Homo-oligomer: A and B are copies of this chain.
Amino acid sequence: MTKHNFNAGPCILPRIAVENTAKALFDLGGGLGLMEISHRSKDFQAVMDEAVALFKELLNIPEGYQVLFLGGGASTQFCMVPFNYMQKKAAYLETGVWAKKALKEAKLFGEVEVVASSADRNFCYVPKDFTITGDADYFHITTNNTIYGSELRVDIDSPIPLIADMSSDIMSRPVDVSKYALIYGGAQKNVGPAGVTFVIVKEDSLGKVDRKIPTMLDYRTHIGEGSMFNTPPCVNIFVLKETLKWVKSLGGVSVMEEMNIKKAGLLYDAIDNSKMFVGTVDKDSRSLMNICFVMQEQFKDKEEDFMKFAQAAGMVGIKGHRSVGGYRASTYNALPIESVQALIDCMNEYESKNL
């Protein structure tokens, strides 16, 4: 039976990236396997260089920015950001669990102002009307809220350095990188496997704090050594590179965006036209990456039954996070539209049998 992989991350990757990785495990080209070559070898340096070049090309990253590939996950960035940027005060947009985790770390370093929050309605929307604290050192946003299925799909203007966690929507649309001081995220949604974190950093935004920063937590360390201050997660960076090659081969991030709008549109339409299912997120805040929905109130008793029905039909990873309940279909770049259609067919079939 075909499995349809709606996992929220780690998640489906392009098949060609998986195949090329499996081959490289035995021979990267020089007779040794990807996991067994030196990170200082020219063969691996070429992997790193291509990954950086593709990231820059696909997002049209302007001069003055560096792309880094680090270990430790986006969760380590939650403390690296204030380590490197906070002098006295930081501003955060509170849009979900990950945004809350990020701002919690910042509180260890100074004052944190929550500019706006959607906690009042269980994070089912992204606040639109807010004023960014002018005297803060930076403004931190989470562009896509994986758990709640909301997304800020515009590059906002900020009077202070703008820092974004784009873990779950990087490479899903063109981004105006020039509006950001720093963009970071775990790779394990749209750009690779778990175990590598991407960082896009504007060089002249750094070096403005007085504190002593541990070497590994200082972005300048990694800029200075081209992400090779210590041994990088080589295999993970290789898969990332292969994933970006696939994005490029299909036409880049504009094409990804078209595909994502089409895929998410199909599923949101099905939800909106259903008498049984209902979306959980305000329409103007709906994510193209994570589509959250529940059973309408009168069908709540069928929630578990549909889950089993869908799983039996090959749907994987559609259980909603416990904070929201119901269902979540993650429709990242590599998820084929056929999987979305299969889920819709499954919903329609269930509805016709059970309404």
List chain A positions with a Cβ less than 8 A from chain B.
Answer: 1, 3, 5, 7-13, 18, 21-22, 25-26, 31-33, 35-39, 70-76, 78-79, 101, 104-105, 108, 186, 188, 192-196, 212, 214-217, 229-236, 239, 316-317
Contact = CB atoms under 8 A, between A and B. Distances in A.
A261 to B, nearest CB: 23
Nearest to A234: B194
Contacts of A229: 75
Given A10-B37, A235-B193, A3 B21 contact: no
A73 B231 contact: yes
A13 B36 contact: yes
A104 B231 contact: no
Contacts of A71: 71-73, 76, 195, 233
A75 B225 CA distance: 14
Contact of A231 (B10, B18, B21): B10
A168 B71 CA distance: 19
A21 B72 CA distance: 22
B73 A230 contact: yes
Contacts of A7: 32, 36-38
B234 A76 contact: no
A11 B25 contact: no
Given A37-B10, A38-B7, A188-B231, A79 B195 contact: no
A36 B11 contact: yes
A135 B236 CA distance: 43
A303 to B, nearest CB: 20
A215 B75 contact: yes
A233 B230 contact: no
A76 B104 CA distance: 21
A217 B9 CA distance: 23
Given A18-B35, A25-B21, A104-B215, A230 B10 contact: no
A13 to B, nearest CB: 6
A238 to B, nearest CB: 11
Given A214-B105, A233-B194, A25 B22 contact: yes
Contact of A22 (B26, B108, B192, B231): B26
B188 A5 contact: no
B33 A230 contact: no
Contacts of A75: 215-216, 229-230
Contacts of A33: 13, 18
Given A39-B194, A212-B108, A233-B236, A32 B9 contact: no
Contacts of A214: 78-79, 105, 108
A32 B231 contact: no
Contacts of A73: 71, 216, 230-231
A335 B248 CA distance: 39
Given A10-B36, A108-B212, A235-B235, 17 more contacts: A7-B32, A10-B234, A11-B36, A13-B33, A13-B36, A18-B33, A21-B35, A70-B72, A73-B216, A75-B215, A75-B216, A78-B216, A79-B216, A79-B217, A193-B235, A194-B231, A195-B235
A26 B22 CA distance: 8
